[in-house]
Amino acid sequence: MSADFRQIPKCFGRTIRELRLKAGLSQIQLAEKADLNFNFIGSIERGEKLASIETVIRLARGLGLSGADLLRQAGL
């Protein structure tokens, strides 16, 4: 993991966007699957918001992954 912790939100957001697109989901569809607001998904993808552990798990489930797998794919 990078020593620059300020990059975590951007890195995580990029991973969410890549996995969402790979799954063929829109932000709205992922938001419905993860029980989150689609505007919040956009903020995470842009690296504007840092996801809580609960949000990481919700996103992972929405993408068909475990929380650990999602964090691993994000390099965290």
Summarize pLDDT for 17-48 with one digit per residue, the tens: 999 999 999 999 999 999 999 999 999 999 99
pLDDT score at 28: 97
pLDDT score at 10: 93
pLDDT score at 68: 95
**Residue 57 lies in domain:** 5-73
- pLDDT at residue 2 greater than cutoff 60: no
Q: The CATH number of the domain where 19 resides is what?
A: 1.10.260.40
Q: How many domains does the chain have?
A: 1
CA dist., res. 27 & res. 53, Å (int):
19
Residues 6+ apart with CB under 8 A from 66: 60
